[in-house]
Amino acid sequence: MRIRLIIPVILCMFAATANAQVSRLIDDVQYGGSVRGTAGAGDNAPFWFTANRYGLGAIGNYTALGRAYIKRDIEADSLRFWKVGYGVDIAAGYGNQSHFNIQQAYFEAGWKMLALSLGQKERPSELKNPELTSGGLVLGMNARPIPQVRLEMPDFWAVPGTKGIFSFKAHIAYGWYTDNSWQKEFNSGTDNIYTRNSWFHSKALFLRFGNCKRFPLEFTMGMEMACQFKGLGYNIRDYSGKPMGDVPLGGNIWTAFLPGSGGDVNDFAAFQNSAGNHIGSYHFRLDWKKQNWSLGIYMEHMFEDQSQMFLQYGPWKDMLLGIEANLPANPYLSTALFEYNSTMSQTGPIYHDRTPENELQISGKDSYYDNHIYGSWQHAGFMMGNPTILSPLYNSYFGYSGSLHPYHNRTRTYHIGLSGDPCSQLHWCAKYTRVKSLGTYDRPVMDPVHGNFILFETKYSPKQVKGLSFTVAYGHNDGTLLGNSNAGMLTIAWDAWIRKTDWR
């Protein structure tokens, strides 16, 4: 009799627990949508209407975009051991790279400091202000997110016994590119190289020293590495220029994780390179954080191969340097940021493999974001790193229709970002970017070209309708790099919550 009574009780407890867990999954769910329209005139859309919008920008003068989403932030369970997050974000419109696409679709499960993420999700650049920065050099905010399986420590974890002075975070991910149809259409009618079904890999480790609760100084350093590998290559040629046809590309999960072995299909046997398109960067950031203000200086140095990964060619000349100040609360200016980014050196203009006749190895001419197999470090037409190395979308403007290669990767950039909050309903930001380009080592321009890119954006969130916002933006280009243009943008957005709690 007791067993007969216990079993129903256990089943009821299990059902109640399961129901509570399912109920938790609809707590703190946010949903909403937006419509966006742009109109203007000129050679291309304003640079900042296109760049750092996760692949949802466009280079045309007239565009329209609608988005709808639902998501649950995994941080809603920040006080629990087990955490769950998910999201779906769809976009459709006119004048963009595609009329319809699933921008985000992911599921995340976490336990303590670890999390497993499945799917495609927008992620900001590491150690930079996502609203004001010009962008990360390796894994930026410029291109559409790539579907992937990602194991990570999303937040810095304080090592026990160090009193919070030493912490770290890391991730490792494998995924796949989704631009097969786009690459084929972009290359239509040409004999330029393109690929299908290629894979993606990334990994990172960041270390942090300091505890601002004890002392306001904090130092962070780390490394990001990423790789494009495998897939099927079309119109591939060997180093002598002889057509190879359509060939399976090299690399596997292990050679992507540890570059340095294997080789690409058109490498000479004596000159084996790492299989795939590898890229990486070092990060350094120093922050002074007080109660109501902070000041940070940071550096990111990119490398395409070992010539910039180490110091055998002397001090690094190419890097992104930045300074960011977050000011005490005032109605005028909240954050000010300045960045300088140079990619002019690339270890010099000469590349020469070691041969029996000449054993001197010269590993120069790195040609950032460029690759002889995959074209460039891009996804669906947008560079996956910093947008000031212009994306393949612009190549028809430069007279290279259908080509995936970059034609302006020797650049010097000065970038300013400002933002402010005059009141609780109003937020503004402004960007000014000046880019000087010498083209590339293989395809230099006759004279240096320049571009000036301006954005001014204001967001108004009326108190009368909770979740509603109106954003008005003005963009401007001038100079010889992308020509002249002026345009306006209007975005109307609405956000709401399902059973919101106070976890924030």
Average pLDDT of the segment spanning 120-142 = 97
Using an 8 Å Cβ cutoff, are 119 and 145 in contact?
Answer: no
Cα–Cα distance measured from residue 49 to residue 248, given in angstroms and rounded to the nearest whole number: 37
The per-residue pLDDT for 355 is: 60
Beta carbons within 10 angstroms of residue 19's beta carbon: 10
Q: Is the pLDDT of residue 4 over 70?
A: no
Lowest mean pLDDT among 137-141, 357-361, 465-469: 357-361
- Above 80 in pLDDT, residue 266? no
CB within 8 Å of 408: residues ≥ 6 apart? 389, 390, 398, 437, 439, 440, 449, 481
Q: What are φ and ψ of residue 17, in 5° steps?
A: -65, -45
Asked if residues 33 and 70 have their Cβ atoms less than 8 Å apart, the reply is: no
Q: How confident is the model at residue 84 (pLDDT cuts 50, 70, 90)?
A: very high
pLDDT at 270: 42
* pLDDT, average across residues 1-21: 48
Identify the pLDDT of residue 428. Answer: 98
Look up tokens 């150690």; give the residue.
Answer: 127
Residue 446: count other Cβ atoms within 10 Å of its Cβ: 6
What average pLDDT does the segment 62-71 reach?
97
| 8 Å CB contact between 153 and 115 | yes
383-442 per-position pLDDT tens digit: 999 999 999 999 999 999 999 999 999 999 999 999 999 999 999 999 999 999 999 999
pLDDT score recorded for residue 16: 45
Q: Which helix (H) or strand (E) element contains residue 136?
A: none
The residue type at 447: D
**Token pair 């080592």 is at which residue?**
441
Q: State the average pLDDT over residues 85-92.
A: 97
Whether the model pTM is above 0.75: yes
188 pLDDT higher than 50: yes
How far is Cα 217 from Cα 289, in angstroms, rounded to an integer? 7
Q: Mean pLDDT for the chain?
A: 89
Q: Output the pLDDT for position 3.
A: 45
List, as one string, the DSSP characters of 324-344.
Answer: EEEPPS-SS-SEEEEEEEE-S
* Whether pLDDT at 176 is above 50: yes
- What does the pLDDT read at residue 122? 97
What is 30-498's CATH topology? Porin (2.40.160)
Residue pLDDT, tens place only, 474-504: 999 999 999 999 999 999 999 999 977 775 5
Contact residues for 465 (Cβ-Cβ < 8 A; gap 6+) = none
Q: Is the pLDDT of residue 265 over 60?
A: no
The type of residue at 85 is G
pLDDT, tens digit, 9 for 90 and up, residues 379-389: 999 999 999 99
- Give the residue-averaged pLDDT of 65-89: 93
Tokens found for residue 491 = 């975005």
What is the per-residue pLDDT for 12?
Answer: 54
pLDDT tens digits, residue range 318-372? 999 999 999 999 999 999 999 999 999 998 777 656 666 666 666 778 899 999 8
At 49, is the secondary structure helix, strand, or coil? helix
Lowest mean pLDDT among 170-174, 314-318, 389-393: 314-318
321: helix, strand or coil: strand
